[in-house]
Structure 1
Amino acid sequence: MGHLITVATSLNQWALDFEGNLERILESIRVAKQRGATLRVGPELEITGYGCLDHFLEGDTCLHSWEVLAKILSSDEVTGIVCDIGMPVMHKNVIYNCRVIIYNHKILMIRPKMWMANNGNYRELRYFTPWMKHRQTEDHYLPRMIHAVTGQNKVPFGDAVVSTVDTCIGVELCEELFTPASPHILMGLDGVEIFTNSSGSHHELRKLYTRVELIKEATMKVGGIYLYANQQGCDGDRLYYDGCAMIAINGHIVAQGSQFSLNDVEVVTATIDLEDVRAHRAVSSRSMQAASAERYQRIEVDFALSADSTDSVVDFQELIMTRPDVRYHRPEEEIALGPACWLWDYLRRSRTQGYFLPLSGGIDSCATAVIVHSMCRLVAESARKGDQAVIADARRIAGEPEESKYVPEDPREFANRIFHTCYMGTENSSDETRKRAKDLAQAIGSYHTDLNMDTVVASLTNLFSFVTGVKPRFRVHGGSAAENLALQNIQARLRMVIAYLFAQLLPWVRGRYGGLLVLGSANVDESLRGYFTKYDCSSADLNPIGAISKTDLKKFIAYARDAFSIPILTDFLEAVPTAELEPITETYVQADEADMGMTYDELSVFGRLRKVEKCGPYSMFTKLVHEWGSFLSPLQVAEKVRHFFFEHARNRHKMTTLTPSYHAEQYSPDDNRFDLRPFLYPSRFPWQFRKIDQEAARLPDRTNVKPADAKAQMPHPEDVD
């Protein structure tokens, strides 16, 4: 019976923070050894941080990576443990994304990534070249600084496996798990029993299930032990890497780390019997395939991962016998936790003094405020557990001196120090939204201000009238569409200006130093439709809900109402979404869905079909005419599809100025990284729309609604700037 103590780690690394990344790597090795581990695996590109982007093209990045690796190799921590460490390596003037396998102050081999993540948020082929010489290695000549530590001149570089006295280890990097022909299959057939996967996988709502199933499947057929390590934290960009390190054996998860955490270092360990792998593989059909499998080069190391069965150090009671259920968060909980952790990373690493949020009394800004409240709850929970790193960051952010004994144990009290909200009312605002904003601020403890900005709006409209000799009017007062739109947008844009003024000066007003980061609160559906004013208060420093749908936000608010005991959130759920930029009359109250000409639920469907299913106007119509055909006629579906693509196309330019948003949804229209499309379109799509009309006229109507009536019911909103 051979026992193996294995380990996977999640580290909260930060792009280009070589000093901090080194400390966290060494701490993870230290903790792993304390738990008796003999193999330690870290996340992808852990020395540099995953999100260095074009910095990977700089020689400095590779240089500093070797300098950090030299310090790791020199450390006493790496004695008696095999470590799998990630960094970029330039081999023959080509940059590769690599795993460096070390043992006892020596480099065993360097394994470059073979299949790159190059879609969605990932652009690995921009920086790295895949290793295409499968099952081949070359000599890599080491820098002099490494030779001075290890005495080595060269090491194997390429696609090989590590053979210890008792087992065999193979490396798989992130995307390679997701590819159809994953390396673990062929490695497993050639006798590899332990697979390591170092990942930089970001959080998206409902994504964890896919990752877990792939890890389980990786060893269900081929057998083996799978160690999955993932980065955790924001890494300085729009993504939040959600950790959840895992250990699996023979298709079953036996250990799982946290998915959302404020910890900088988290180590997950399990004690597993190697004989379980061998028993699982004792299948005739598998053995026949293995007998004819191509050979991997083995890099031999005189070290046993498992302890001798007579060694008193091994506690056989620790052997993993149970198969715990995998922990999944509901989407509502993911919204509460993921963006909150992301905001905490930004706050502590930007070294600012808190957040400022224009709180409108609507559900979007409400959701943003509740996410900040969730962040404060996580900070308070960590502080109560004695997390000194969190306490130190909280003291600095709150303006407390280093010698202070302040501990942020009350989330409302901490929020009052670092979270500032402001209701910016006009004559078009209602008493209901003002009261909701005030009540919410009181419930979560934010430092709240309430102002009326009519005089500021009037000064600009009066300036325009003085220069031009004409005074613009709202539509309800007889004004044109252009006047109505301009008067709405000037209110929205002034809110952005006021927000930044207050964010810069409120700490000073309160006798503190520094400034605040401004939060935006435009949801993914409004961004997709372009239903916001360019450079209004949606323009901010960060937007935690920018890639979350209105539908999911409502579910989140309902969850938070009960989970966080905030009864006032019921009022937000029951309120009709409205921008409150036009005067309210007896016969007219501005409503978002009426203005947009489509519902938020419809926008979610349009968004997923456009981005995730890669549908243009015609293919979207052909899908929806079947899905919606029982309650909408083909002409109605055609009208909705055309209306969506027209509005999306003519507002696409707004995506170029979107506030950096937490990426949580696959259909995010973020032009800056994720959704790379033109921003000047032939917005009437004459060819595509004509084909839709022809098909709609040909298809039978499966409803009782007459097309003429349906078209009359479709609102035609005024242009939204």
Structure 2
Amino acid sequence: MDFIKVASACPKTKVGDVDYNIYNILKCIDDAKQQNSKFIVFPELCITSYTCGDLFLQDYLLNKSIHGIQQILSATEDCDMLIAVGSPLLIDSILYNCAFLLFKGKILGIVPKSYIPNYSEFYEKRWFTEGIGIETHEIDLQFQKNIPFGTNLIFSSNIANFGVEICEDLWVTIPPSSYLSLMGANIIGNLSASNELVSKMDYRKNLILNQSARGICSYIYSSAGVHESSTDLLFSGHLLISENGSLLKENQRFQRENEVIYSWIDIFKLKAERMKNLSFRDASKFTGKKPCLIKFKFSNASINSFDRFIAKHPFVPSSKQERENRCKEIFNIQSSALAKRLEHTGLKKAVIGISGGLDSTLALLVVVKTFELLNLDKNNIITITMPGFGTTDRTYNNALTLCKELGCDLREINIVDASLQHFKDIGHDKNIHDVTYENVQARERTQILMDLANKESGLLIGTGDLSELALGWCTYNGDHMSMYSVNPSIPKTLVRYLVKYVAEKESKGEVAYTLMDILDTPVSPELLPKDSNGEIAQKTEDIVGPYELHDFFLYHFIKHGSSKDRILFLATEAFKNDYTNSEIEKWLNKFMWRFFTQQFKRSALPDGPKVGSISLSPRGDWRMPSDAAPWK
């Protein structure tokens, strides 16, 4: 499934005591090995410790550091893990601050620090020489010959491609990791010794997250800890693992014992993002650099004890505050888009069908916000409720209450007689409750809305959402059609939160109560007759499946181009406490069949704004033949 487990470590150290440092580095490696990690990143100069000062100019320390590398190699001959450790390295009387990449008892390559800080509290140029410009060299050590040495090394495995940079390299205008990413590295390690100052942690974290986003990569950061010299500075052992702008794991700083953090990296997702991002691909042509590929192979790439968090509702932020901010932003996008369309057409009225369901409720709330934005009279919002064979008292009364309380022009047109006449015209038995029975009602409602919009010189507002479009759960040239749609990129799981946000944060009294009751009403098109108790008999999720599953399927299918097997793997992990594996597979099969067979509806969508990263607009994000074979 293209996942790999990585680690960031901060071992206990003593300044200049290589034996002590190696002992703790090996303890961290052993912990990571037990966790089945494939890549571990240690701090800058962790073999000696970073704060050795002029001791770096002593032969004894330099020779001990190389001996320390040999100790690690001997202890990890059977370790199926790429290890990045920091150590000084003397080459032809020039001292470099380096990252050693070790694998199964061998040095795969050595990367020198490109940029040497020599300002404020840093004075590394007293000891070290910058490595920038060194590419595709080889060096010899007593115990290994022809070791790749340079800043353009890409360590290419059967799972992922790795690159490393060192501390200051991240803080410059164009970090080496930018070039490494463009040359194919999708996991970057940073061996660092970044001291703590007030608020520096936030800035550092933002740099790391931003760099992982710009490089569309995973960025693993390890910084020196509290046992470095505190003569003038204090280090905190800050550890972070990020992926494409998202923070996956972070430690609590200032720990006094060995510490290792872990996370699973989704290599498939990174590759998919790079494939779609044409600007990233174009930029790779102009780096002026050529990678030195160092190939190696992990023996075991299987996934054991998978514990990466997989969000069940990827369209919905988990944080309450972030959800509220997202809701405000979405309403701004929707209402501003509709305002532009109203201004362009010169129309002062909007027409919208209100069913008492979630989608039409959200669309109405958007229209109200738009009219407030444009200082238009809300009485020019013409709301039409059109009871049919399946309309229940609950949805009918909620529709009436909501429109009245919001100050809209409320009208009621019953479609029963018109539908019965149409059944008679086309020779359809009214007792046969098939697709014709349902679609006659949907198209009758759309005809009424279209004709009223013409009569009133108004704009007919569509209400259908992204989830319905993905499944084709709409009547072609019925609720499928409008003059402008405001919900086409809002999935059903997010529709709920938007309506709930207005109910809790922007409404009170009867409006808030009605919105909460709409949220509690089962999702239904109400096209089949009511049950014997007058309640909704036709529940959408009983027919097509749970929307939370379909939104999950849609997100991973469109966002990352995930295969059916991968989606099933992720879904069974995310929903393991909610659905059985067979249930998930059943609804995934339903999703795939409906998504492919219903493309013809999406190919003829009305205009509407893109709100999130996923849209099925045939003019924008999704172009698909209507007769492609469903994937099995």
TM-score (norm 2): 0.47
Larger Rg: 2
TM-score (norm 1): 0.42
